[in-house]
Structure 1
Amino acid sequence: MSKQALCVLAGLVVASTAAFAADGKDDAMLQLASKSGCMTCHNIEPGAKGPEGMAPIGPAWKDVSAKYKGVKGAEEQLTRTVLQGSNPYESHWKGKVSGLAMPPNHVAIKDADAKQLVKWILALDAKK
């Protein structure tokens, strides 16, 4: 096998391994989200309907990712919101979701897991 063919083959192996690792991370995060009750109110993709055809209860995670892209401190702010809940009077998703506020979830998810999940959510918009 030529050196060029070997380099191409090695590149394909590395790329497929990286893709597999990303898919494994997606699976782990989706399991964590389901186990923690997040999927009751949230979807990954925008446009999903909520109960009885209403607006979804909480924002789609790709919308969250897009909204907070490049925002300094977003990971810490959103992790705090996941754990402590949000104020219904300060909702910036008003008119887009049917839920008034996010309830506190500190009993449903550990701090470290919430931080890991938020980090994954914030990276969603970069994925295809």
Structure 2
Amino acid sequence: MTPRTISLIAITVATLPAWGAPAADDTAMLRLANGSGCMTCHHIEPGAKGPDGLAPIGPAWRDVATRYRGSPGAADQLTRTVMTGSNPYSSHWKGKVSGLAMPPNEVAIKEADAHQLVEWILKLEAAK
């Protein structure tokens, strides 16, 4: 593990709720997300706006969790989006993030790992 990866994990863990140390599952999922490049476009917490007034590239995962929690088939749908990418012409995040579409990630992450990460994201609490 490179020093940069360790720093990214430490910074990301610091953004988790202050109710104690992250669970082993949190650490494993953050390591997977960092190693797969997810954190290049996404953050856990909704963050500061970019120069164009929009959120950085992709939606914050707490926002994703809020939007999809309880939706039937959400984990499967989001896993497909991670693997195959999204359509910039029908993006429901348009106007809310600076990126137009999610690129396909099948070379960056295995589908089973993506599904596990999506399940973890959907369990995140809403931003406060």
| Equivalent residues in 2 for 1:65-80, closer than 5 Å | 65-80=65-80
* Higher Rg of the two aligned structures: 1
Structure 2 residue aligned with 1:33:
33
Q: Which moved more, 1:47-56 or 1:77-86?
A: 47-56
For the aligned residue pairs, the C-alpha RMSD in angstroms reads 2.4
Indicate the SS of the match to 1:76. helix
Structure 2 residue aligned with 1:119:
119
> Residue 98 in 1 paired to residue 115 in 2?
no
For structure 1, which runs of at least 5 residues remain unmatched after alignment? 1-18
CA shift in 2, pair 1:22/1:55, >3 Å: closer
> Residue 57 in 1 paired to residue 57 in 2?
yes
Structure with the largest fraction of helix: 1
Identity among equivalent pairs (%): 71
* CA distance in structure 1 between the aligned counterparts of 2:55 and 2:119, rounded to whole angstroms: 25
Structure 2 contact 45–127 (Cα < 8 Å) conserved: no
* CA distance in structure 1 between the aligned counterparts of 2:90 and 2:127, rounded to whole angstroms: 29
CA deviation after TM superposition for structure 1 residue 55, in Å: 2.6
For structure 2, which runs of at least 5 residues remain unmatched after alignment? 1-18
CA deviation after TM superposition for structure 1 residue 95, in Å: 1.1
CA shift in 2, pair 1:127/1:21, >3 Å: farther
TM-score, normalized by length of structure 2? 0.77
